[in-house]
Structure 1
Amino acid sequence: MRGLKMLLSASALATVATPALAQDIVFKPIVEARLRYEMVEQDGPLPLVEDREANAVTMRLRAGGELSSGPFALLVEGEGTLAINEDYNSGVNGKTLYPIVADPENVEANRVQIQYRTKPLIVTLGRQRINLDDQRFVGSVAWRQNEQTFDAVRVEYMGVKNLKVDVTYAIAARTIWGIDGGKFGSVNRPTEIDGDNVFANVSYKTKFGTLTGFAYLVDEDEPVAALLRNSSQTYGARFVGALPLAKKVKLSYLASYARQSDYAKNPVDYKADYVAAELGLEVSAFKLTAGYELLGSDSTTLGSATGFAFQTPFATLHKFNGWADKFLTTPTTGIQDYYGGIAYTVPKVGKMGPLVASFIFHRFSSDRLSIHYGDEYNAQVTLKIDKHLSALVKYADYDRQGIASFTGDADTKKFWAQIDYAL
């Protein structure tokens, strides 16, 4: 924060000292609200009883604003989450007989940042939102009520045509667990995760798509279990693009590969691969998608534990491997996700729209030991009501195959209904 205060002081002094160069001050308000109902029905080690069905009604509000003058901008945003009905395990409220709905009550400073921005260069200092590429490695976890933000300095350079260099140094991640994180003996649900993290992306646009090389160096101070840490170094590349085939027909494609190994404080000597491939075909209002994702596993042994898998602790994990959230932590035997989906878009529904209905099927298996974990069915309908309001209903059904293969591997059904407002 000392650096933030110095930068703010320098900006204010420069404006006062050179009135001829002073810029108009512009204020942009920030107001975002979400009301959500979430139901979770999950099999447990005991016979299913009434209190094993979680019913959560939560309200989230973000409010603040941005003051800008010339190339400088100061943004301050608070975030609060209220549990209107708390018949659920928030992860930190001690209600462990219920399934988890990871939306604890919370009041916090979500973003406090100063930014210098010109056409070729953006520098952001402070607590900020960071979403890189498709958020598979670094994201803000926007699906949860409490957002994940980072205490960091980020530099984005676009001074060369079609090239972007994006480098971040983060000393902490402010997690979705909020101000009560770490309560009830949970070592892996902290309010913040301190460390020395570097997120580096270099991307280049071509007429066929965007090629990106990336390096993510994660050095976490907090352990996730015993002496284990999610500290890792990940190097990889991705290519994503789209190609029109005919009028109202478009082919989209994605390919990515990365290699991860231990780093810094991690006592485990391991190496694991990441692979992703996806094809999409849009025909008029329909879109078909088919894909494969691998988060590999190494059979390294440490003490009584065998197997360490590719992890992405700062990702927006809900976007990947099914909406039932069974694979937020990659099982020690790794995961292979074969999936396919269909979506249909109605541009207008009266004065509202668009309306988008989608269905996705996942088949989950291990990287090692040939385990078929289970299958999952996802369905969702979204509707844009007007320029401020949108609505969503969503369903996930995870069907375990065979015996439980990892912590939390149980038949799980989830249902959501929510309304979003943005100013």
Structure 2
Amino acid sequence: MLSASALASAATPVLAQEVMFKPIIDARLRYEMVEQDGPLPLQESRDADAVTMRMRAGGELSKGPFAFLAEAEGTLALDEDYNSGVNGKTLYPIVPDPENVEVNRVQLQYRTKPLIVTLGRQRINLDDQRFVGSVAWRQNEQTFDALRIEYMGVKDLKVDVTYAISARTIWGIDGGKFGSVNRPTQIDGDNVFANVAYKTKLGTVTGFAYLVDEDVAVPALLRNSSQTYGARFAGAVPLTGKVKLSYLASYARQSDRAKNPVDYSADYVAAELGLDVAAFKLTAGYELLGSDRDAAGAAGGFAFQTPFATLHKFNGWADKFLTTPATGLQDYYAGVAYSLPKVGKAGPLVASFTFHRFSSDRQSIHYGDEYDAQLTLKIDTHLSALVKYADYDRQGIASFAGDADTRKFWAQIDYAL
């Protein structure tokens, strides 16, 4: 005769094999305004006003270690007085949130404690997303058709390797229309993203290799084919009960690969310090995307590029440096943030301000300065709100394509189930 505890133990594996369903709902309503100086009076007078609504919906079925996920994504422009990048409204400043309906993710996954294998169209965010990310700030997400293997079978060690045959871009189903050949719906290729990370008491050491081979007939995109090898170290240590020091250092070397018509090599350097003092956080950092002045096949040189990154997170929210200028980029920045845990029944409330000074890697060009400010509020478990502002002030003459005084404002509501 079985005891009650034995019956419970025997039932556990059966219960673990039940089919589970997890719904996915992720909605966002956003207003974005862009004021940007331009070469024509007409362009100077036409500010962009974009009101867009994005919805992602789907679900995940799982049984034991196996899971199948499917998710659709749709973006609607409620006010399309802006250049989406693919709608042909080129007299307006660009707001890269085109209308779109697509399959955002569809993947089969096997997951256990030491091993996760994901096959299909999927979201990939590696480290701080400086080289590979989902571009979550834009309404249409960047996803990859890929096979990803994550192995955690050795204590404190993680091996993460992805082979991707296609990147589904933020430009959506109208990518490539109205002459925007540099903004396709998808970019096919043979891409390998490899990370090996080891945790220590002081932080995580990561070695990485990103091999990009863009199989397209567009010269501007072929120039993104590259091989990047590097390492990063990131961690934090408590100094006192209410004071914590965080730090990051990274270096990488990039050169051309596959069909890239430019023969070049360039360096990447990043360093950042953060100090948490009670509710305040102070941050200061430096980032270099170097330039090769002797790059063969590129007049004026060629610089370090990160085409699959979540670029909005880096080098200012005005998005002036999504493509690194040929003379390279140095970004000196400092910021302060304040967090209030509760505002009535809501919270946390986080306010932040960041200053950037942008200059070139060579030729001693001061591109400009930027001021960024943001206020976020977590309203409840599912709902959050944001207001955000960026002001880029160009110095001297325009030094690269799109180098113009630019002011941007956002107001946004997010709902996630």
TM-score (norm 2): 0.95
Match of residue 188, structure 1, among 182, 186, 194: 182
Measured in 2, the distance between the counterparts of 1:232 and 1:93 equals 30
User: Is residue 352 of structure 2 the alignment partner of residue 358 of structure 1?
Assistant: yes
Measured in 2, the distance between the counterparts of 1:64 and 1:331 equals 39
Corresponding residue number in structure 2 for 1:135: 129
- Mapping of 1:73-84 within 5 angstroms? 73-84=67-78
Corresponding residue number in structure 1 for 2:198: 204
Contact 2:214 2:222 in 1 (8 A): no
Distance 1:83 1:290, change over 3 A: same
Corresponding residue number in structure 2 for 1:369: 363
Question: After superposition, what is the alpha-carbon deviation per residue over 1:197-244, rounded to whole angstroms, capped at 9, x for unaligned?
Answer: 000000000000000000000000125546842100000000000010
What residue identity is the alignment partner of 2:398?
A
Contact 1:51 1:98 in 2 (8 A): no
Match of residue 23, structure 2, among 22, 29, 40: 29
User: Is residue 40 of structure 2 the alignment partner of residue 46 of structure 1?
Assistant: yes
Corresponding residue number in structure 2 for 1:268: 262
Contact 1:224 1:230 in 2 (8 A): no
What residue identity is the alignment partner of 2:279?
A
* Structure 1 residue 186: Cα displacement: 1.4
Measured in 1, the distance between the counterparts of 2:339 and 2:390 equals 20
- Mapping of 1:156-235 within 5 angstroms? 156-225=150-219, 228-235=222-229
SS at match of 2:275: strand
Measured in 2, the distance between the counterparts of 1:170 and 1:240 equals 26
Measured in 1, the distance between the counterparts of 2:235 and 2:26 equals 31
Unaligned runs of 5+ residues in structure 2 are 1-12
Corresponding residue number in structure 2 for 1:245: 239
* Structure 1 residue 300: Cα displacement: 2.5
Distance 1:227 1:411, change over 3 A: closer
Contact 1:187 1:225 in 2 (8 A): no
Distance 1:214 1:248, change over 3 A: same
Measured in 2, the distance between the counterparts of 1:328 and 1:124 equals 29
Question: After superposition, what is the alpha-carbon deviation per residue over 1:373-411, rounded to whole angstroms, capped at 9, x for unaligned?
Answer: 000000000000000000000000000000000000000
Measured in 1, the distance between the counterparts of 2:60 and 2:256 equals 40
What residue identity is the alignment partner of 2:86?
V
Measured in 2, the distance between the counterparts of 1:22 and 1:254 equals 40
Contact 1:188 1:223 in 2 (8 A): no
Contact 2:264 2:296 in 1 (8 A): no
Question: After superposition, what is the alpha-carbon deviation per residue over 1:233-274, rounded to whole angstroms, capped at 9, x for unaligned?
Answer: 000000000010001100000000000000111121100000
Distance 1:49 1:164, change over 3 A: closer
SS at match of 1:318: helix
Q: Which runs of 4+ in 1 moved over 4 A?
A: 19-22, 48-51, 301-304
SS at match of 1:33: strand
Distance 1:273 1:391, change over 3 A: same
User: Is residue 406 of structure 2 the alignment partner of residue 412 of structure 1?
Assistant: yes
- Mapping of 1:78-97 within 5 angstroms? 78-97=72-91
Measured in 2, the distance between the counterparts of 1:96 and 1:316 equals 24
Contact 1:171 1:197 in 2 (8 A): yes
SS at match of 2:173: helix
- Mapping of 1:246-395 within 5 angstroms? 246-302=240-296, 305-395=299-389
Measured in 1, the distance between the counterparts of 2:206 and 2:297 equals 38
Question: After superposition, what is the alpha-carbon deviation per residue over 1:61-103, rounded to whole angstroms, capped at 9, x for unaligned?
Answer: 0000000000000000000000000000000000000000000
TM-score (norm 1): 0.94
Measured in 2, the distance between the counterparts of 1:186 and 1:116 equals 38
Measured in 2, the distance between the counterparts of 1:408 and 1:387 equals 39
Measured in 2, the distance between the counterparts of 1:274 and 1:348 equals 40
Give the length in aligned residue pairs.
405
SS at match of 2:39: coil
Distance 1:198 1:45, change over 3 A: same
* Structure 1 residue 316: Cα displacement: 0.1
Distance 1:165 1:412, change over 3 A: same
Distance 1:373 1:117, change over 3 A: same
Root mean square deviation, CA, Å: 1.4
Question: After superposition, what is the alpha-carbon deviation per residue over 1:3-22, rounded to whole angstroms, capped at 9, x for unaligned?
Answer: xxxxxxxxxxxxxxxx9899
Measured in 2, the distance between the counterparts of 1:309 and 1:49 equals 29
Question: After superposition, what is the alpha-carbon deviation per residue over 1:284-327, rounded to whole angstroms, capped at 9, x for unaligned?
Answer: 00000000000000012545722110000000000000000000
What residue identity is the alignment partner of 1:243?
V
Measured in 1, the distance between the counterparts of 2:200 and 2:102 equals 41
* Structure 1 residue 39: Cα displacement: 0.1
Measured in 1, the distance between the counterparts of 2:145 and 2:329 equals 31
Distance 1:227 1:275, change over 3 A: closer
Which is further off, 267-276 or 130-139? 267-276
Distance 1:40 1:155, change over 3 A: same
Measured in 2, the distance between the counterparts of 1:248 and 1:111 equals 41
Corresponding residue number in structure 2 for 1:55: 49
Contact 1:92 1:177 in 2 (8 A): yes
* Structure 1 residue 338: Cα displacement: 0.0
Contact 1:223 1:229 in 2 (8 A): no
Unaligned runs of 5+ residues in structure 1 are 1-18
